[in-house]
Structures are given as structure tokens and as C-alpha cells.
Structure 1
Amino acid sequence: MEADALPNVIAALVAGLLAGYGIAMPVGAVATYLVALTARTTLKVGVFAALGVATADGLYALIAAVSGSALIPVLQPITQPLRWCSALILIALAVRGAAKAFKKPADIEQTPVSPSRAYLTLLGITMMNPTTVIYFAALVLGGGTTTGHLEQAVFVTAAFLASASWQLILAAGGALLGRALTGRRGQLITTLTSSTLISALALHLLLA
């Protein structure tokens, strides 16, 4: 690596880390669902779900870094439909979670959530969020730190790792919550609270 390229790479690294944490850390419907999913399943399922969220963030970071300003005008006409689809999916998940909360434990154990299913579910939910790609596109346009292929690769990798590290923390928190609320009543309260919060966030998307 040439000495004059090092500052640009460092800038891209910092920008990617800030972008990844910036989009991952605010508590929203995806974070709430991730914690609740891990609490009622296993840490392994939560880890795969967390990686699903981080994969979506990484893909959007890649698209934003490569496409830049071309993304925003393309997304503008479909932002509202995407928001509606995302909200409807979240409401469906909330209703499904609430319904499962009232099932007998034996019924719940018969339909476990596989790690691959958790990964794909969280990947899909996160990819449906138009705010994510607009967020990354705006950062790339404003920062000007991803002009070269190396800088783009560093930016995308840093954004993915930052998002993944935060999502894994949320999954770990969900696993600890699940251990603390192992009783039937505790699981019921946790699931219903999660479903209520997810529904409220989904309604906020519909009304935005």
C-alpha cells in the first residue's frame, strides 16, 4: 500500500465503522425482534439472525459505495410501497409471535426456528427497509471517502463488522433475557411485550 493511500484507507475504515454503528445502534423493530427471537429460542439462532441483519447492512453499504447518488432518485418512487411492505411484514411477525405465546409449550417445541430460517427472515426484514440504503448513500456522498476500490472495500467491510458486532451484542442480551425468564409466565410477558412494541413501530412506518 502506498503511503499517500493510507490516510484514505483509514478514513474509509472510520467512516465504515461509524456508518455501521450509526444504522445498527438505534433501537427499532428489527432490534426488538432479534432480542425477542433469541430470548425464546437459542443463542445459535440469535447469532444467525444477527448475521442476517449485518449481511443486509453490508449489502446496502456495498450498493451505496458503488452506486452513490444514483440510488436516491431510483428509490424515491418506491420508498412508500417499501415502507408499507416492511410494516405489514412486521405486523405479521408480531401477530404470529403473540399467537405462539398462548400455545402450549409442547406445541411451540414442535415448530422450532432453525438458524437458517432466522438468518433469512432477518435478512429479508432489513432489506425491506428503504431507510438503510438511503442512509448509506447519503454517508458516501457526504463523506467522499470511497473513491477507490480499496477504500470501497474497506468501507463496506467495516460497516458490516460494526453492524455484526452490535447485532451479536443484542443477540447475547436476548439469550441472557431468555435464561432469566425461563418460566412460562416470563416467556409470555416477553413475547407479548415484543409483539406490542413491534406493532407500534410498524404502525409508525405506515403513518410516516
Structure 2
Amino acid sequence: MSELMTPALAGAVAGLGVAMPMGAMSLLLLQEAMRHRRTAMAAAAGIAVVDLGYAALATALGPWVASHVSPVEAWVRLASAAILLTIAARGLSSSAQPAPSAPPPPSAPPALEARGPGRSPDSGAAPGPGTRTGTRPAARAFARYVGLTALNPTTALYFAALTTAQGATLGSGPAGAAFLLGVGAASLLWQQTLVVLGSLAGTRISDTARVWTFRLGYGLVAAYALKIAFPLPSLG
């Protein structure tokens, strides 16, 4: 078990690195949590599933790529580190800019709109079809957030660079599975944390808090880049 702890922790750091910076998806998730916590939890799971899916695809292909470029493995690691540092630098530079505007939230179901502002979702209006258990709204939220998150190419590039550079260490099945478990668990934990914050405090996240999520998240990306860059390739 101890030999699997390293890739699991590496996956957790990678998952937090891609999940923590608060962009438009995070703002959408906070808004969703303000309206309905159950659907927000499903939306958070959708975001984490995409992170896990991209990580799984990259983990499957990364070792194969690494095995075919073994003569220049150190240069591949350096190139991957450069990509990750570029992602981190762009993210950190954008952290000082105004918060991104989230896409307009989906229209509330008629039953919710009829209750009027400031009234509780459970204030006595008759539930519509599928709302008794919340299964259908939750499923729609899950699918919607899967689609929105999958449109972000940076996530795919991030995991591709990271796993290609670590092809040798993720080559075994158990190590790769432990890495993916760390990615999925860390991403899901962070997204569900946002749901709790959104249900408690709404979207009133201060600019300072937003900036620090960028700094922490992209700081992890930069640290990971430096870790995989060394030892540097020999020029001899």
C-alpha cells in the first residue's frame, strides 16, 4: 500500500491544481448551490467526472508516449514542465483581473419561479414532475456541467503534459489507478466544498478569496512543473 501512496498523493495535488482556481464554472456552481443544494452537488460531481475523465485518458496515453520517446525522456519532461509553467503563469496573471462573468444560469422551473423572490423552495408549492426526489433536475445539472467543463481545453492539456512527463511512474496499473483515485477524490472534494460555501454564503466570495484560490491552485501547478523538470537534460 505504501508504494501506492505516492501516486495517490500526486493525483490529489494534480486534482487540486486544476480544480481550485475559481473561474466561470466555480461561479456557476456557487449560483447553483444558492438555488438548490441537491442539484449543485450533482453539478459538482459532473465537474469532477470530467477532470477524472481527462486524467484517465491522459494516464492511458502518457506511458505509451513516454515509452516511445525514452531516448529523449528528459527533454519530454522539460517540455511538459514548460507547458505546465505556462498554464500556471497565465492563471496567476489573470488572478489580478476582475472575476470572470459566469454564463447566465439556466431558467428556473416554472414551479420555482411562481414562488416569487425570497421564498423558500419548500414553501408549499406543488412539486412538478420529477421534483419529488430531485432525480431529474439533478441528472440535468450533472449533464449540463459535464458538457460545460469538457469544453475547457486547458484541463486536457494540463493532464496530458503532466502524465506524459510521468509515464514511467504511472506505467503500472495500480500506480495509475491510485493516481486517478487521487485526482477524482481531490477534485470532487473541492467542488463539494464550493457547494457548501455557496449554500451558506451564496456568491459573496470576496476578490481577495478568489485571488488566493488562483494563487494556491496555480502555485500547485507550478510546483508540480518544477518537480517533473528535474533532473535537467544533459547538453553533452
TM score, norm. by length of structure 1: 0.63
What pairs with 1:146-161 in structure 2 (closer than 5 Å)? 146-161=170-185
Match of 1:30 in 2: 25
Question: Counterparts of 1:33 and 1:50 in 2: how far apart (Å)?
Answer: 10
Match of 2:194 in 1: 170
Question: Counterparts of 1:29 and 1:114 in 2: how far apart (Å)?
Answer: 21
Question: Counterparts of 1:63 and 1:171 in 2: how far apart (Å)?
Answer: 27
Instruction: Give 1:67 shift.
Output: 1.0
Aligned residues: 150
Name which of 138, 145, 149 aligns with 2:161: 138
Match of 2:54 in 1: 60
Query: Letter of the aligned partner of 2:144 in structure 1?
Result: T
Match of 1:185 in 2: none
Secondary structure of 2:197's counterpart equals helix
What pairs with 1:14-163 in structure 2 (closer than 5 Å)? 14-39=9-34, 41-68=35-62, 94-95=103-104, 105-106=113-114, 114-144=137-167, 145-163=169-187
- Does structure 1 conserve the Cα–Cα contact (< 8 Å) formed by 2:24 and 2:103? no
Secondary structure of 2:52's counterpart equals helix
- Does structure 1 conserve the Cα–Cα contact (< 8 Å) formed by 2:59 and 2:163? yes
Higher helix content, 1 or 2: 1
- Does structure 1 conserve the Cα–Cα contact (< 8 Å) formed by 2:15 and 2:184? yes
Query: Letter of the aligned partner of 2:46 in structure 1?
Result: G
Instruction: Give 1:137 shift.
Output: 1.2
Question: Counterparts of 2:176 and 2:104 in 1: how far apart (Å)?
Answer: 40
Question: Counterparts of 2:191 and 2:115 in 1: how far apart (Å)?
Answer: 29
Question: Is 1:10 matched with 2:5?
Answer: yes
Give structure 2 stretches of 5+ with no counterpart: 66-99, 122-126, 205-236
Instruction: Give 1:10 shift.
Output: 2.1
Query: Letter of the aligned partner of 1:50 in structure 2?
Result: A
Question: Counterparts of 1:42 and 1:114 in 2: how far apart (Å)?
Answer: 10
Aligned residues: CA RMSD: 3.0
Question: Counterparts of 1:127 and 1:107 in 2: how far apart (Å)?
Answer: 34
Match of 1:184 in 2: none
- Does structure 1 conserve the Cα–Cα contact (< 8 Å) formed by 2:39 and 2:138? yes
Secondary structure of 1:31's counterpart equals helix
Encode CA deviations 1:149-189: one digit per residue, 9 max, x unaligned.
111111111100000000000011111135xxxxxxxxxxx
- Does structure 1 conserve the Cα–Cα contact (< 8 Å) formed by 2:28 and 2:105? no
Instruction: Give 1:127 shift.
Output: 1.0
From the CA coordinates, give the structure whose radius of gyration is larger. Answer: 2
Secondary structure of 1:114's counterpart equals helix
